[in-house]
Homo-oligomer: A and B are copies of this chain.
Amino acid sequence: MTDWLTSLQTNTPQEGFELALKLSRKGVEYTQQSDEIQNKLRAEYAKNADSLTLASQVAATHFQTIAAANNYWK
């Protein structure tokens, strides 16, 4: 796979949050590499509240890591 993650540093908390969402998606894409199946799954889980919450939990976990990496943007 090409380079897609060279640093955990971001300029703002919001960019850090968006990076966390990217890491969440990547965690899935490494396992399910078919774009077609990914799109199909995304269409389904985006309409299910619990699925969205579980995905949001993964992003929250990555955000902890990224926030620590940026010393909480203090």
Chain A interface residues (CB < 8 Å from chain B): 3-9, 12-14, 17-18, 21, 23-24, 26-28, 30-32, 37, 41-42, 44-65, 67-69, 72-74
Contact = CB atoms under 8 A, between A and B. Distances in A.
A34 to B, nearest CB: 9
24 contacts: A5-B14, A7-B73, A8-B13, A8-B67, A8-B72, A17-B26, A18-B30, A21-B31, A27-B56, A27-B59, A31-B46, A31-B55, A32-B46, A41-B48, A49-B51, A57-B57, A57-B58, A58-B60, A60-B62, A60-B65, A61-B61, A65-B67, A67-B69, A68-B72
A60 B62 CA distance: 6
